[in-house]
Amino acid sequence: MKLRRGLDQAITYGTKKEALSLARQGLKRAEEKDLPGEIAYFKGQLEILKENFSSAIDYFDAAIKYNLHDGAAYNDRALCMVELGIIDEAFYYFDKGIAVEPDYATIYHNKGWLLNNIGRHKEAIELFKKALALDPKRPVTYDNLADALLNLGDYRGALAAYRKVLRLLKRGCCRQIRKEVTSQIRSLETRLAQEEYVS
């Protein structure tokens, strides 16, 4: 489980090299312990990192057969489907993952991310809030929440969420993300100051 969390962090905020290393470590440990579901899961992760999404889906299907309650496998299968442009069916797998592992914050986040990207911002916000209720220290979820709020014109809400991202990001990591978030904060502060000046 710790390796899975580390891999998720590396994919979100680290480098591809770091993520590949963690996926290989996970696969090696799963093979050493002869855990077929985990072997399939980490093979799926390696395929995602190589952008072989169809192949990754096959591995996640195998992981699910070994563990019907593996929310991460459903989640990652859904993400592969998104990469392949199979959006409607991706929602089925997100929902299936939520049903089998309702306390897994990442799946709420990723379903919200997809909803936000297809213009269903209000639904996305509800899912981001659910993810944050389960894991309140997820900077990536605050970042996506800010984007959804921005899409709805809630500039104050977006500003508060972006500020939370900066507070939660680990020091020394993610310089580019920090720079982008800081730029968004400045832009929103300027916009809100201008609105106050006009009114």
pLDDT, averaged across the chain: 93
Which has more pLDDT, 171 or 5? 5
Helix (H) or strand (E) holding 15: none
The domain 1-87 having CATH identifier 1.25.40: the answer here is yes
* The pLDDT of residue 199: 61
Average pLDDT of span 123-127? 98
Per CATH, the architecture of 103-199 is what? Answer: Alpha Horseshoe (1.25)
Buried b (16+ CB within 10 A) or exposed e, 69-94: ebbbbbbbbbbbbbeeebeeebbebb
pLDDT tens, residue by residue, 70-115: 999 999 999 999 999 999 999 999 999 999 999 999 999 999 999 9
* The pLDDT of residue 175: 79
* The pLDDT of residue 69: 96
DSSP code at position 169? S
Place of tokens 């990723």: 110
pLDDT tens, residue by residue, 173-196: 777 888 999 999 999 999 898 887
Q: How far apart are CA 2 and CA 25, in angstroms?
A: 11
Q: Is the pTM of this model over 0.95?
A: no
Domain ranges within the chain, ordered by starting residue: 1-87, 103-199
Check if 1-87 and 103-199 are the same fold. yes
Average pLDDT of span 14-37? 93
Average pLDDT of span 109-135? 98
